[in-house]
Amino acid sequence: MVLRIKAARREDTGKNANRRLRREGYVPANLVLPDENESIPIKTKLGEVRRLLSEHAQLIELELEGEEVRPAFLKGIEWDNIKDSVLHVDLVEARMDRPINAVVPINFKGTPAGVVKGGVFTILISDVEVTGLPMDIPPEITVNVTDLEIGDALTLADVEIPEKITLRTRTDLRICEIHLPSRAQVEEAEEVEAPEAEEAEAPEAEEKKEEESKE
């Protein structure tokens, strides 16, 4: 998936300048130029960063104000863990003829047969690291889990990976499994069902009392 975001060069750098940018609704960022061994200080609106995070774009068309569009990819994000906000973004200019490393989310599709029979579906790995040319990196890897029964599990070796990309994550790792619910989960489910059963019995008890009083 390709996503175009708008940005502009920033002249002022440093902590004070970055704080001022954030107050104005911008996120300070750097565009790394690998061939020139340098980086360009830039800024982009917080809304653009939110789009970048929500749409999981592997390739970015960076539209710098007054300049030509540059292909880039996301290298890293610095977070404020206390405020849960973005402090800084690092982008790298992409060469379309050179492979890049990227993290691709796994989309688990369907309702497993084992879940219908009372099993619990657990996701163990939600994304994988791959290598490929920028235009060949998929936005996600879909895994159909409909046929999984209780006791079944899938590893990355079971997943169909597009031919033009290479998987960097170990293929023997389990990505999901279906198991019987634990005792705690069973007890929790019974506790939820018990009040519902009592509520259903209450009207019947009231009706019975009314009938007895009439007699």
Strand 69-80 to 100-109 pairing: unpaired
Give the count of beta carbons closer than 10 Å to the beta carbon of residue 7.
25
The pLDDT, as a whole number, for residue 12 is: 84
Whole-angstrom distance, CA of residue 44 vs CA of residue 22 = 10
Phi, psi of 16, rounded to the nearest 5 degrees: -65, -45
CB-CB contact of 1 with 59 (8 Å): yes
* Tens digits of residue pLDDT in 132-187: 998 888 888 999 999 999 999 999 999 999 999 999 999 999 999 999 987 655 56
| Eight-state DSSP code of residue 45 | E
Give the count of beta carbons closer than 10 Å to the beta carbon of residue 106.
19
Q: Is the pLDDT of residue 77 over 80?
A: yes
| Weakest mean pLDDT among 29-33, 54-58, 125-129, 168-172 | 54-58
The pLDDT, as a whole number, for residue 202 is: 55
Beta strands in 149-188 (DSSP E): 153-155, 166-167, 174-179
Percent of the chain's residues with pLDDT above 90 = 55
Q: Spell out the domains of the chain, with CATH numbers in brackets.
A: 2-94 (2.40.240.10), 101-179 (2.170.120.20)
